[in-house]
Structure 1
Amino acid sequence: MALTLPSDSRQTNSPAPERAGAPSTSTARGPLSDRILHVILREPTGDDALDGTTDLAARATVAVEASTDIARDDDIQLALFLLYGLHYGSLADAHDGWEWHPHLIAARRVLEAAFEAQLRRDVPMPELPEPTAAAVAEALFTLTSAESDGPSLSRFVAAKATREQLEEFLIHRSIYTLKEADPHSWAIPRLTGRPKAALVEIQADEYGGGRPDRMHAAIFAGTMRGAGLDDTYGAYLDFVPAVTLASLNQMSMFGLNRRLRGAIAGHLAAFEMTSSIPNGLYARGFRRNGFDDDVCYYFDEHVEADAVHEQIAGRDLAGALAEDDPTLLADIVFGAAACLTVDGWASDVIVEAWMAGESALRMPRATTAGIGA
């Protein structure tokens, strides 16, 4: 079963290059995502049995029980991506009537519970700081400055990545970055006072300060076009592995659940704190491969912007939230640690494939010929 993604979802008015054979659909990766696709492509009739929704939660339970690794399970992560996509409006053929359908929400809750349980089990947690803005900010800066045990994606891009690998890098990043800032924006109505003001300040920059052409998602779309790639949201959905989807799904889960508002605040803090230096390295790798300033603009912009955002996110968002409500401290730190862990998993998949001389995409690189060519 396949789902057409939005034809009008590109981030600018500039046309994308024509791509013979470019994927315009999302294809199921297992029985659960197949059933969800069959459901959401149809208009609800009001008859749950006829619509095929009555057993969705049971099917989700079966998928969870059969999985050995939720974060790397293609069927589960695509199912979550599709269910979250109903809230973002990023699924062109999905009927709006499905967004709050109780059986779809029930299935989503089954998947979320399993995904969250894995994260809480597998994400290493540091010692909690005192619930003060200064102490939390310091702890987060310490956490995000720790060296990873594995190879660095940003350093690989800067020093070794080929043009073909840079295209793959953009394909992976497109799943979140063409929708940049949206998952964290769900937290705005869930916060109050200092944390809310800090989040709005950060998000205003992410959305271009009122200028559509300066929206970070729009700038990234320009980077993709400059690299010869399709900037339509979801054009490369079939090509990215489950763990790439898990990175976005984690943000969506944290942002859409009010009880996890501490986690989404911590996630954003870690996200901003680990952005400035890597983006400088990404820009170096793209320039080393002959790309011009227009293509590198997205990375250059984040070197400067995120150096400011990390201070606001660490102290005024995450730190102030812990100070205002100490009961959220553990989730703030968990969200930050989960950001580093899951993004690390996703980066490791890419670097390990490249170091082995292989593609980091689910399908052979030849399959994308004509898309990024």
Structure 2
Amino acid sequence: MKLPSPRGPVSDAVIAALVQAPHDFSAGDPDSDDDLHLTLFVLYELHYRGWDGVDDTWEWHPALLGLRARLEARFEAILRELPVPEATDDVPHALIEMTRETGGPSLSGYLRGRATREQFREFATHRSVYHLREADPHTFAIPRLAGPAKAALIEVQIDEYGGGVTHRMHQEMFKDTMTALGLDSTYGAYVDVVPWQTLANNNLMSLFGLHRRLRGALLGHLAAYEMTSTGPNRSYGNALRRLGGDAAATRFYDEHVEADAVHEQIAAFDMCGSFCAAEPELAADVLFGARCVLTLEDRWAEYVLSRWEAGESSLRT
């Protein structure tokens, strides 16, 4: 993946450093959400597939880790201000109640009934940042779990990775959707054009995934993701069919309608329920992770819809 263009002083300093051999450097504070989240995204990507022309030893460089910790603390402090339900002995049903909330804007409803083909292409562009590496952030939790919770997470992840069959991997299915829409399916092709709200959604799961102390939050994130997936993906598939998409184009969404109907039960009860039974002191973290993803997704949807309703693109120009 090619390094993106900077969006402020900190992302500028980091990107300028990464094209050189590893060395000590310092950076100040981000001057905007764009600068903060692009910098975090660039730093997190070093733990995934890396950047073209960037020395892999940067991944664990002390200067980068120190900067990342400072930016993460700023991001997490904002997240900790979100209202979270009281910890309970029945986390699965608490998750069910949280995911039944309907206070946010219905982006899926807009796409199903009103969106133009260009707007659907924009939607896919936003989502490509995650879907082209779908499941990878949550896989970080596997070695941090044991027993039934670990088995349940692996059951979900096996489906995400297509049971080991390349063309059935959700990452690969989404490439077919992008190709049908005339989009570039190269990994990370659209990082430069998505707004900070899209990057924040991706940074959230990386923040949870890369810290063992936040393993409960990562499971809550995944559970909320799976538990709110079936209906929207049905709408996305129907929207794309309305806009002329064929079976190959809609396969990604249709697959999620079927798979996530099963995953939501596994994630809530077998994964999160078992995890909280084994580590009850982390039950609040599970609910925190769910609240974070539900809130950030709502805010992202609100941003996208506000731009479309104003007759503007939701992407950066």
TM-score band w.r.t. shorter chain: over 0.9
Q: Give the conservation status (yes or no) of the 8 Å contact 1:43–1:97.
A: no
Q: In structure 1, how many angstroms separate the alpha carbons of the residues matched to 2:266 and 2:296? A: 23
Return the index of the structure with the highest Cα Rg: 1
Question: Is 1:54–2:25 an aligned residue pair?
Answer: yes
Which runs of no fewer than 5 residues in structure 2 stay unpaired?
none
Instruction: Report the alpha carbon displacement of residue 25 of structure 1 after superposing the two structures with TM.
Output: 5.0
Which runs of no fewer than 5 residues in structure 1 stay unpaired?
6-23, 45-50, 68-72, 364-373
More deviation in 347-356 or 201-210? 347-356
Q: In structure 2, how many angstroms separate the alpha carbons of the residues matched to 1:357 and 1:127? A: 41
Q: In structure 1, how many angstroms separate the alpha carbons of the residues matched to 2:80 and 2:113? A: 34
**Match among 6, 28, 38 for residue 16 of structure 2:** 38
Instruction: Report the alpha carbon displacement of residue 124 of structure 1 after superposing the two structures with TM.
Output: 2.3
Alignment length, in residue pairs? 317
Alignment match, 1:125: 84
Tell me the alpha carbon deviations over residues 45-76 of structure 1, each in whole angstroms, 9 at most, x when there is no partner. xxxxxx3x3323xx2xx22xx55xxxxx0111
Q: Give the conservation status (yes or no) of the 8 Å contact 2:108–2:232.
A: yes
* Paired amino acid for 1:339: V
Q: In structure 1, how many angstroms separate the alpha carbons of the residues matched to 2:45 and 2:93? A: 35
Q: In structure 2, how many angstroms separate the alpha carbons of the residues matched to 1:327 and 1:81? A: 30
Tell me the alpha carbon deviations over residues 197-256 of structure 1, each in whole angstroms, 9 at most, x when there is no partner. 111111011001010110001000110001110000111111100010000000000010
Q: Give the conservation status (yes or no) of the 8 Å contact 2:109–2:235.
A: yes
Q: In structure 2, how many angstroms separate the alpha carbons of the residues matched to 1:92 and 1:195? A: 36
Q: Give the conservation status (yes or no) of the 8 Å contact 2:3–2:51.
A: no
* Secondary structure at 2:10 match in 1: helix
Instruction: Give the structure-2-normalised TM-score.
Output: 0.98
Q: In structure 2, how many angstroms separate the alpha carbons of the residues matched to 1:110 and 1:302? A: 36
**How many percent of aligned residue pairs carry the same amino acid?**
51
Alignment match, 1:213: 167
Alignment match, 2:180: 226
Q: In structure 2, how many angstroms separate the alpha carbons of the residues matched to 1:206 and 1:319? A: 21
Give the 4+ runs in structure 1 shifted more than 6 A.
none
Q: What does 1:303-342 align with in structure 2 at a 5 Å threshold?
A: 303-342=257-296
Instruction: Report the alpha carbon displacement of residue 300 of structure 1 after superposing the two structures with TM.
Output: 0.2
* Secondary structure at 2:4 match in 1: strand
Q: Give the conservation status (yes or no) of the 8 Å contact 1:181–1:206.
A: yes
Instruction: Report the alpha carbon displacement of residue 139 of structure 1 after superposing the two structures with TM.
Output: 1.0
**Match among 166, 174, 177 for residue 128 of structure 2:** 174
* Paired amino acid for 2:186: T
Instruction: Give the structure-1-normalised TM-score.
Output: 0.83
Q: In structure 2, how many angstroms separate the alpha carbons of the residues matched to 1:97 and 1:115? A: 25
Instruction: Report the alpha carbon displacement of residue 357 of structure 1 after superposing the two structures with TM.
Output: 1.4
Instruction: Report the alpha carbon displacement of residue 346 of structure 1 after superposing the two structures with TM.
Output: 1.1
Instruction: Report the alpha carbon displacement of residue 279 of structure 1 after superposing the two structures with TM.
Output: 0.1
Question: Is 1:355–2:309 an aligned residue pair?
Answer: yes
Alignment match, 1:186: 140
Question: Is 1:241–2:195 an aligned residue pair?
Answer: yes
Tell me the alpha carbon deviations over residues 148-193 of structure 1, each in whole angstroms, 9 at most, x when there is no partner. 2x42010000010000000000000001110100010011111111
Q: In structure 2, how many angstroms separate the alpha carbons of the residues matched to 1:187 and 1:25? A: 27
